[in-house]
Each structure stands twice: as structure tokens, then as C-alpha cells.
Amino acid sequence: MRLTFRGRMTAWYAATLSALLLVFAVQVYALVRAGLLGELDGALRADREYVEWMLDSSPERLEAGPEIPALPLLTVSLREGHRRDTEAWREAGLDGALVGLPYDTPILWSNAAGDTFRVLKAAPADDVRVALARPANDARVALHALALTLGIGLPSTLAFAVLGGLLLARRALRPVGAMAARARAITAERLDERLPVENPHDEFGELATVFNETLERLECSFDQLRRFTADASHQLRTPLAAMRAVGEAGLRGEVPAESLRETIASMLEEADRLASLTADLLTITRAEAGQLPLRRERLDIGTLVQEIAETLRPLAEEAGLALACDVEAGATVEADAALLRQAVINVLDNALRYTPTGGSVAMRVARRDGAVIVEVRDSGPGIAPEVRGREFERFVRGQSDAPGTGLGLAVARWTTEANGGRIEVAETGPTGTVVRIQFPAAAEA
């Protein structure tokens, strides 16, 4: 049988309380018993001292007859085998208590009539043996009453405590029931729902707050996924539609060889665009799944940037742009060369695409405060206000008719962060945009 959390909590509470009450009852009984017997033992010690005093001051009183009003329960074995017992001693049959009784160790003993005595056996002098007793019926009755009280009171107290524990557990766990009911109503279409938070400072409130934060992240992820799916569908549909239209146009009637070449070239261009889009999507997907292992090495980022600038210089010249590169020597980082190269290429390619003819693009590599900075500055129109802050999201482009797929900066952000760096738009405005990539500088060799 599997208990609910409330049942388990109540069971643990009942078990713990039972153990505590049992320990409490045993301690109370032991303390009361020790107190009552301590009083009797104190009286017996006083009686023994009185007998020792009589042996020293007037031994004839003990030899003549032990009928002493202060010691009604007394037996004395004197020198030369004489023994004297009080009448009360004989009537109580206390000789039975002396069988096997060690000296100076008081015990509780009950006779056949049910009377209880505290008995002490002592040897106050040579050849003198004394046994003393005190009635212990009152102590026995008190201990019996205490045991009865504890035996009846503790189970009833435990029963009321368990009942109260059940009620308290039900009340304490009421927020959990409310959260569970609300959580059942949350679906992928209703991720804007949130769990109720009665008290944000207690444990349940903290749990609900964390769960709500998780729901908020899930809602953002689902929104991004929806936008990504829609944007990816649009981006994939465009080149496919263009290829289909071009192909259908090429199949109509007699097509001159020159027109056919142009048709095939246009289809290849769209195919290249589709392949680039697919490669970028695959890169992002594998990156988010953690399937792109890094091969970190020490490299001179200035040399890498110069190589990239020379590689893309023909594109800049074809677009009528001036491309400059200013590199500070000795700027080294620990990074994956292939991923770092891809990040810089994407940023530079983005700048070349958005800079109008006659403009300029400048690249700079510098060291600053233990970091290596790579900046790409263009003279374009800047980032459109409606997309500022979202520059590194997938399929976001500054202009709806801008070239490219909108994945370049998204890939650049991941490849930069994967290498332990960060990328940001440092400046943007009507006179141009500055994209800054920053990496920790490599330790000196």
C-alpha cells in the first residue's frame, strides 16, 4: 500500500511523537520513582545512624529489648548470638526480605499480605547485624497511579495529536493541491498560465515561483520555436518556389541555348542559397544539441582576421566598397580556429551586405585589459529600430528585402560564445554600425 505524502508525513509525525512521549513517560516515571525511593532511603539512613548512636551511647537498650518507638521495624543480631526483633517486624514477616539481601543495598519487598516495605541491611559494628524497614505502600500507590495516568494519557494524547496532524497536514498541503489543479490545465497552447503563489517566502511559494519561471522560459522557447518554424518554412519556400518558377519557364516552348544557360544559372544560384541556409540551420541545430566538439588551440587572431579580409576583399570590390584592416600584433587567443573563422566571416559578410555602394568597412584587432577585441565597422544605414535588440536571433534581418537568410549573426553568436567570447552591437546609427567580438587573451607562453 502506497501512502500519500500527507499520509507519510502524518505517519512520521506520529512515530516521532510516540517516541518522544514514550521517552518523556519513562523519564517522568523514573524521576518520580527515584524521588519517592530517595525519601525512603534517606529515612533508612537516618534510622541506621540512630542505631549506631545507640550502640555507642546506650547499647543496653538494644540488648535489653529493641522496642524503640522511633524504630518500629527493626531486627538486631547482637554479640554472642542474641537477636531482638520488634513486634511489627515479626507481624510483617520481614525476615523473608533478608534472604540473599546484600549489605547497604536497600530494596523494595512485599509480604504475603501485599504490604510493601523498603528494607536495608547493615553491619554498624563488629558482630552486630541490623536490618531496618520503612513502609512503602504510599510510594507504591503513587507510582501505580502515575503509571496508570501515563498509560491512559499518552495514547489519548497521541490520538489527538495524530488527528491534529492530519488536519494541519491537509491545511498545509492545500497550496500543493491548488498548484496541481492549475498545472493540469497548463498545455502547450496555454503556457501563459501560471501557478498560484499564496506566500512567495515559504517553501511552497518558492516552488511555485521556480515553476512559474520555468513556464516562462518554456513559453519563450515555444514562441521562438514557432517563429523559427514559420521563418524557416518561409526561407525554404522562397528558393524552392524560385527554382520551380525558373524551371517551368525553361520548359515552355523552344528555349534558346543562351536563355537555357541563364535559367540553369539562376536555378544553381537558388540551390546555393538553399544549401547555405540548410548548412546554417544544421550548424545551429548541432550546436544547440552539443554535437559540435571544440578543438581549442592557441592562434594569432590578427593573422586570422587579415586572411579573412583578403578572402572577402573581392566581394567588397565587386560591391564598390573600401575594405580596411588594422591589426595589432601579438593578439592571441585560445579558441577553435574553424568556428572563430566562421564567426568573423559572418560578421564581415553581414557588414558588406548592408553597406551601400561607395561606402566602407573597417576591421580592427586590438588588445585591451586582458582581452582581445575584434571590431567590424561599416558605413551603412544602421540597424532598423524595430529589430534592435534582436540582431542575433535567427531569421532576423534589418530590412525585409535585405539579402541573406538572417542566420549569419545567429551562427556568429553561438560560435563566439562557444569559444568563451561574447559578441555585441557596440554602436549603430545612420552613419553605420560597429559589431564587437571580445575574447579572453591567451596566457603568455
Give the pLDDT score at 350.
86
Cα-to-chain-centroid distance, residue 403: 48
Q: Is 323 exposed, middle or buried (0-12, 13-18, 19+ CB in 10 A)?
A: buried
CATH topology of domain 203-288: Helix Hairpins (1.10.287)
The answer to whether domain 203-288 and domain 296-440 are alike in fold is no
Cell numbers for 121, please give them: 541491611
Most distant CA pair in the chain: distance in Å? 158
Count of other CB atoms within 10 angstroms of residue 351 = 27
Interacting residues of 176 by C-beta distance below 8 A, sequence separation 6+: 204
Nine-digit cell string for 340: 572563430
Pairing outcome for strands 322-327 and 360-368: parallel
Predicted pLDDT at 362: 93
How many DSSP H helices and E strands does the chain contain?
A: 10, 12
Which residues make Cβ contacts (< 8 Å) with residue 433, sequence separation at least 6?
Answer: 351, 354, 377, 378, 380, 382, 383, 425, 427
pLDDT along the chain (445 residues), means of 10: 72 85 92 92 89 76 63 74 79 87 89 90 82 90 92 87 80 77 76 77 80 82 68 62 69 64 70 67 61 76 89 89 89 85 87 89 89 91 81 64 64 82 88 90 71
> What pLDDT is stored for residue 280 in this prediction?
62
Q: Rg for the chain (alpha carbons), in Å?
A: 49
Tell me how far CA of residue 200 lies from CA of 6, 185, 186, 206, 379, in angstroms: 22, 22, 21, 6, 51
Domain parsing of the chain, residue ranges: 5-159, 203-288, 296-440
φ/ψ of residue 250, rounded to 5 = -70, -20
**pLDDT in the model for residue 186:** 78
Q: What is the CATH number of domain 296-440?
A: 3.30.565.10
